[in-house]
Amino acid sequence: MASKAAQKRLNKEFVAMQRDPPPFIWAVPDEKNILTWNYIIRGPPDSPFAGGEYHGVLLFPSEYPFKPPGIKMLTPSGRFHPDKKICFSMSDFHPGSWNPAWSVATILTGLLSFMLSDEMTTGSVNSSDSQKRQFASRSHAWNLGQARFKEAFPDYCTQAPKDVPNMGDQRQPQSQPTTLFTPPTQQMPSFTSSSSHNAIPAPALVPGNLSQASNSDVSKVKPTTADEAAAGAAEAAMSWGQILWDKWRWGVLIAIAVVVSRLSSARS
């Protein structure tokens, strides 16, 4: 039976799990016993466990959070013995290293990290990457045949494996590239090359705004008279001069400051 401290803490952690689950992990307490939690770990991409669905249990003592839980993985994975306690730093094999600040999310994130390593311990097995992939491909079908999985995760008893709420943000829309921040001292004055996917759009070419246009844009404007052509060339030259000054002014100012500093040192 759970102590009041354990009951309060595990209820709080269930709310936290619902609000902000860790990547590739989902966990829920047993409806009849809050000290027993069922979890699902989804195999991360680019690992031998990719596509796998691994069901296991956390067995909390009544003294939790002051004592660590026992941890089992029930689904065959090629990494751990099914239904056998796993020894690692956050399990009940190591009460001396347990930190009461650790939570369900912390424990399962640590278990996933340990799963992706090659470290051998009590409860682990040795297998090749190809064998782990075979286990991953059969894991969901195996889970569907287990009464405990169906009882704990009825929403995950679908024909194909279902993603847990947080799949590590692996599927971001490709049509929305990330805009990189450019420090102000390196930012171009009002436009950038059209080859950059996050370029700032160049201002429209309108009369009286040629000083803000690029050289290639200026070349597209056809002056109607020789005077207008000369004015356009002058404005284009002023624009390039402004660009060069904005780009190099900090280097020039720094160089001047260094020279002045050395002259002051020499005089003193």
Average pLDDT over every residue of 39-47: 97
Q: Which of 87, 200, 202, 205 is catalytic?
A: 87
Tell me if residue 157 is catalytic.
no
Decide: 191 and 200 in contact? Cβ < 8 Å. Answer: yes
Average pLDDT over every residue of 213-220: 40
Phi-psi region of 53 (alpha: psi -120 to 50; beta: other; left: phi over 0): beta
pTM exceeds 0.85 for this model = no
pLDDT above 90: percentage of residues in the chain: 62
Helix H or strand E encompassing 36: strand 36-42
Decide: 21 and 166 in contact? Cβ < 8 Å. Answer: yes
Domain ranges of the chain: 4-156, 184-191+199-267
Average pLDDT over every residue of 82-107: 96
Residues 6+ apart with CB under 8 A from 38: 27, 28, 30, 55, 56, 57, 148, 149, 152, 153
For residue range 165-198, list pLDDT tens digits in order: 999 865 444 334 333 333 333 333 333 333 333 3
Predicted pLDDT at 233: 52
* Encoded amino acid at 18, one letter: Q
Q: Is the pLDDT of residue 120 over 50?
A: yes
pLDDT band for position 255 (50/70/90)?
low
Alpha-carbon torsion, ordered 194, 198, 200, 204, to 10 deg: 50
Tell me yes or no: is domain 4-156 CATH 3.10.110.10.
Answer: yes
Predicted pLDDT at 172: 41
Average pLDDT over every residue of 27-56: 97
- The number of residues making up the chain comes to 268
Determine which of 39-48, 74-83, 158-167, 236-245 has the lowest per-residue pLDDT on average. Answer: 236-245
Predicted pLDDT at 1: 86
